[in-house]
Amino acid sequence: MEQVVSALHALYAPSDPDTRKQADDWLTSFQHTPAAWQVSDALLSQADSPLQFLFFAAQTIRTKVQFEFDELSADDCMNLRDSLLHHIDRFGAPEHQPIHMMLAIGLADLAIQMDHMWPNAIETAFQRFGQNPDTFPTFLEIIRMLPEENQNLKLVTDSFKRESCSQRLQNATPEVLQFLLNLPDLPSPRAQTRRKALECFLSWIKFTNVPASHIAQNPLIPQCFEHVAHWDDLSETATDTIVEVLRTCSMDICAYQPVIQVVLSHLGLLRSKFEMQLSQNTNAEDLDSLRQLCRIFVEVGECLVPLVLTQSTDTEVASILQVILKCTDLPSREISSIPLEFWHRLADEVCRHPETDVKIDQFQGVYIELLSASIHQCAMSAAQDPFMADDEVLAYRQRMLGLVEDIGLPTSKSNDPWPSTY
């Protein structure tokens, strides 16, 4: 213990680089010794230790559970489980979040590694942390990590344990989703609960097929749209959640129709935000906001391709296509690249549709606008030398060329070719 503390002081103190490197090498080597279990546990018990020391201890335990679990006996496993449950309860404050997360990952990995020795890990979390709003953040962190770590291929465990854990998680899905559904909208002092609830919900919808009713009724979905529209610190997680929900819906549009209706009912809020962003001088933050909005509208388009084909003249469908068109013509190559796969897929679907000629007629106006946007994106100013363009620019222009070739659909016999200006 004294050696570890001394090495940590040397690592984080303003000492010379050689001393810090020696300390780092020694600590890295120490983490792979059996003594690291007990020393890290003891270090976590000293709450007055510097945060870097506590983080090192939590990280060490997580790493050893992931890679060196076979060093523990059955009794050691039980003691470690009880110790981690005690520690994580003490490190729930915002300033301890990195430590809190490491301990949650360690507990999730331990539940997978222990398997039949701890078959009721989720029930333990519910009983210990899921009854009091003050401990909800801890409960949500643990529950979020369980499906994520079950799919973490870096965790050194066997396929039997993964499958066994997966089955337990599937069985607990209704209870977890019901908890999220009933989670109250807590006031600002517990804002971290809202963040962790959103992250937990995202983790579970990635892991399993969540029933449409649990998504459509979940108050987290409208909140996600609010976060994106207001561009707050949860907007990125909210965007990821909306995109994942839409991907789930795309697997069975009929079954998830209630969810799609909820999404469509909130799109107007994001469309207003998008138009407002376009009307302003865009800076780095505005581009980040536009990127999130573009991701959502493109995913809506991807999900609703069958609806787009059959209702291309519908006002709602047309407005979605217009937003995606504007995204394609934004000055940021990162953002304008996001819709390209959608346009490829739509062109493919139009061509494969039995009444191709009719569909071409309906989409001709859209594709003329798309062609114009593609030409605009590829254009270079007179001051630029196209032969000096870097690989990134050339790759981008090549993708645009592929899009132009894809949307250069032959017109139906009743129509003229594309306007000669193109």
**Where residue 348 falls among pLDDT bands split at 50, 70, 90?**
confident
pLDDT digits (tens, 9 = 90+) for 165-218: 999 999 999 999 889 888 755 544 466 788 899 999 999 999 988 889 889 988
Whole-number pLDDT of residue 411: 42
- Residue corresponding to tokens 């990162």: 334
Q: CA–CA separation, 265 vs 267, rounded Å? A: 6
pLDDT digits (tens, 9 = 90+) for 378-401: 777 777 777 777 788 788 888 888
Whole-number pLDDT of residue 409: 47
pTM of the model: 0.84
Whole-number pLDDT of residue 280: 77
**Where residue 152 falls among pLDDT bands split at 50, 70, 90?**
very high
Whole-number pLDDT of residue 185: 54
Residue with the larger pLDDT of the pair 94 and 246: 246
Whole-number pLDDT of residue 190: 61
Q: CA–CA separation, 271 vs 97, rounded Å? A: 35
Q: CA–CA separation, 118 vs 109, rounded Å? A: 12
* b/e per residue 139-161 (b: at least 16 CB within 10 A): bbbbbbbbbbbbebeebebeeeb
Whole-number pLDDT of residue 391: 80
Whole-number pLDDT of residue 355: 55
**Where residue 48 falls among pLDDT bands split at 50, 70, 90?**
confident
**Where residue 50 falls among pLDDT bands split at 50, 70, 90?**
very high
Q: Under 8 Å CB-to-CB from 77, ≥6 apart: which residues?
A: 110, 113, 114, 117, 118
Q: CA–CA separation, 359 vs 60, rounded Å? A: 60
Please report, rounded to a whole number, the percentage of residues in the chain having pLDDT higher than 70. 90
What number is the average pLDDT over the span 397-421?
60
pLDDT at 94 over 70: yes
Whole-number pLDDT of residue 356: 54
pLDDT at 80 over 80: yes
The closest of 217, 127, 121 to 171, measured between CA atoms, is: 121
Q: CA–CA separation, 215 vs 208, rounded Å? A: 12
Per-range mean pLDDT, top range of 34-48, 102-116, 406-420: 102-116
pLDDT at 419 over 50: no
Q: Under 8 Å CB-to-CB from 68, ≥6 apart: which residues?
A: 32
Whole-number pLDDT of residue 81: 96
Cα dist from 140 to 97, 198, 211, 338, whole Å: 13, 9, 20, 32
pLDDT digits (tens, 9 = 90+) for 221-241: 999 999 999 988 899 999 999
What number is the average pLDDT over the span 22-49?
93
pLDDT digits (tens, 9 = 90+) for 289-329: 999 999 999 999 999 888 777 776 678 888 999 999 999 99
pLDDT digits (tens, 9 = 90+) for 256-281: 999 999 999 999 999 999 999 888 76
What number is the average pLDDT over the span 160-167?
95
Identify the weakest region by mean pLDDT among 67-81, 90-104, 153-167, 189-203.
Answer: 189-203
Whole-number pLDDT of residue 410: 44
Whole-number pLDDT of residue 193: 84
pLDDT at 97 over 50: yes
What number is the average pLDDT over the span 151-173?
94
